[in-house]
Amino acid sequence: MSKEPSKPQTLSPKDFQQDTLAIRGGYTRSHEHEHSEALFLTSSYVFDSAEMAAKYFSNELQGNVYSRYTNPTVRTFEERLAAMEEGEQCVATASGMAATLSVVMALLQAGDHILCSQDVFGSTRVMLNNYIVKFGVQVSYVGLTDLAAWQAAIRPNTKMLFCETPSNPMSEVADLEALAAIAKQAKALFVVDNCFCTPVLQKPLRFGADIVVHSATKYLDGQGRCLGGAVVGSAELMDKVVGFLRAAGPTMSPFNAWVFIKGLETLRIRMQAHCANAMALAEWLESHDKVTKVYYAGLEGHRGHGLAKKQQSGFGGVLSFCVKGGREQAWKVIDSVEMLSRTANLGDTKTTIVHPATTTHGRLSAEDREAAGIGENLIRIAVGLEDFIDIKNDLARGLDLI
């Protein structure tokens, strides 16, 4: 059996188009000549001698020491996603929340201020409000689309602007270029959670963001199997994030990295299919007499439509809508579906349905929910890849009952 090293690869990411990077980026075949990427399920690595161990530990030689620091499978995921986001470097984390935590812990310190959009993911708010403030970092919030409010909320100690676009569940769209300019003027870092779009639909670094964070748990996996996250940005910033991760430990497991590597390979065609199904569903819901409003930036009537068209190449898979009535009618629709999954997850091949006011956004105060437009009659759908006719028919059954 041949143990010859594989032929060295001479092409770099610059030589490939996006679709190729998603499939072949970041991988060097091992001496086993495998075709699918190898899974290095190991926590540590073996040294040929005490002297070699000393050299690796002192960084005189670069190589694997321990999987909290580096792992070849995790590195493949990192290099592939960095290339897709057009960032210098990517750092993989144990979850999406671990990605945001690592950015904040590595790059902010006591006395700094972080300015965040109001409608970020609920746990992001809980983490900032309940934990990060304990370390002397100030936190305040502004409406995602209100540029004057962002500008006015800048303090002398503002060191980070953070937003998520499009927003969950109202599909509001942030003006990335304008926010990047405000951040630059304030000498603050601009961080964008790109979970809903993925690099296939939006590349925030192109619009001036400094850092992109991901919950890989969503579309990057795409089939609801694994938790993971990622941070992408310049090598200089990512070195600091790596430092926190190595010391504190919220690293990605090699098994999960392997699942995400395979997820990235089909990401573009999955995202296009999510977008197509979501658009068809949004248009059908808009014409339904039991639906009073549909929130999806793909619809021309949505106030974020123009901006989404400018900075995204598709409108994503998540939409929400209001039914005639209140909580009782919304719950009736949710309870009546037979195929759609009643779960808060998103970015899955399976369509999910949820009542934001009592689940994902239930921990917000009533005033904050009202300010975000999240009423009792609002339903969120994360549109999956089933046949559109079956998704529509399942929802129609519930809507007919109210």
Q: Which residues bind ligand PLP (CB under 6 A)?
A: 95-97, 121, 123, 164, 168, 193, 195, 215, 217, 227, 229
- Is residue 397 within a helix (H) or strand (E), and if so which, with residue range? helix 388-401
Burial class of residue 55, CB neighbours in 10 A (0-12, 13-18, 19+): middle
Torsion of CA 386, 272, 82, 116, to 10 degrees: -80
Shortest distance, CB of residue 94 to ligand PLP, whole angstroms?
Answer: 8
Shortest distance, CB of residue 361 to ligand PLP, whole angstroms?
Answer: 12
Shortest distance, CB of residue 139 to ligand PLP, whole angstroms?
Answer: 16
- Name which of 198 and 329 has its Cβ closer to ligand PLP: 198
- Name which of 97 and 291 has its Cβ closer to ligand PLP: 97
Q: Cis omega (within 30 of 0) on the bond before 356?
A: no
Six token digits for residue 79: 């290099």
State the Cα angle at 56 between 30 and 35, rounded to 5°: 10
Shortest distance, CB of residue 218 to ligand PLP, whole angstroms?
Answer: 6
- Name which of 263 and 398 has its Cβ closer to ligand PLP: 263
Describe the strand order of the beta sheet including 318-323 as a list of residue ranges: 291-295, 318-323, 378-382, 352-354, 341-342
Q: Provide the phi-psi class of 379: left if phi over 0, else alpha when psi is between -120 and 50, else beta.
A: beta
- Name which of 129 and 393 has its Cβ closer to ligand PLP: 129
Rounded-to-integer distance, Cα 283 and Cα 295, Å: 11
Shortest distance, CB of residue 46 to ligand PLP, whole angstroms?
Answer: 32
Instruction: Determine how β-strand 113-117 pairs with β-strand 318-323.
Output: unpaired
Shortest distance, CB of residue 130 to ligand PLP, whole angstroms?
Answer: 16
- Name which of 217 and 251 has its Cβ closer to ligand PLP: 217
Shortest distance, CB of residue 228 to ligand PLP, whole angstroms?
Answer: 7
Going 77 to 227 to 391 to 372, the CA torsion angle's sign is negative
Six token digits for residue 137: 């970092």
CB 392 within 8 A of CB 384: no
CB 333 within 8 A of CB 395: yes
Question: Distance of alpha carbon 304 from its chain centroid, rounded?
Answer: 19
- Is residue 139 within a helix (H) or strand (E), and if so which, with residue range? strand 138-142
Shortest distance, CB of residue 345 to ligand PLP, whole angstroms?
Answer: 7
- Name which of 87 and 96 has its Cβ closer to ligand PLP: 96
C-alpha dist (Å) from residue 92 to 67, 80, 357, 372: 12, 11, 32, 31
- Name which of 121 and 244 has its Cβ closer to ligand PLP: 121
Shortest distance, CB of residue 363 to ligand PLP, whole angstroms?
Answer: 14
Residue nearest to ligand PLP according to CB distances in the complex: 96
- Name which of 164 and 175 has its Cβ closer to ligand PLP: 164
- Name which of 121 and 296 has its Cβ closer to ligand PLP: 121
